[in-house]
Structure 1
Amino acid sequence: MNLNQFHQLAEQLFSNIEQQLDAFSQQYDTDIDYETHGNVISITFENHSKIIINTQEPLLQIWMASRQQGYHFDFKDGIWVCNRCGLTFQQLFNQSVQDQIAN
């Protein structure tokens, strides 16, 4: 993957994240605030916990830091996959959001 492709994929992922956060907010009747600044999305929950998602351009990766831990994702076979546990970004993102809403 070249840098231009990486930026397109990351932009698409960030757009999907914003849509999902709006849906989570409605589904769980909770306030979820998020801000996007360049290559970083900062998500803040009612309990003041955060999830930070950013691009790591030199590595062509997406990184996510949540209360559970940090995750690094590589783009493989059309999806973002954690390079440590093999779960997809979507799986870990959903799990992290639900955990931070519940606590």
Structure 2
Amino acid sequence: MNQQGAPQLGQLVRNLRGRDAGKLAVIIGVEDERFVNIADGDKRKFDQPKKKNLLHLELLDIISEEVAGSLRETGRVTNGKLRYAIAKYVENQPSAEAQEKGE
């Protein structure tokens, strides 16, 4: 299984497989030890999360406190907050990753 720790709400992930390979998203729900629900607030909205196998995701060591707090308090998060969390992560990365995001 993953060498990383357990997935957490608000944690950023990178898709490794599928149509969205290379794209960033945020964990908005943990189904069980193998599956999580992810959304990016853009193509994949909060109301239509994607169920992904953890083997197909790279768990990044960034947890968005805004997203995690909102999910804990209300059980929901706005798509804007998801986009903001991803944008904030991208702008703090070296330029190679920013170019990769631009596709």
If asked which structure has higher relative contact order (CA below 8 Å, sep 6+), I would say 2
TM-score (norm: length of structure 1)? 0.26
TM-score (norm: length of structure 2)? 0.26
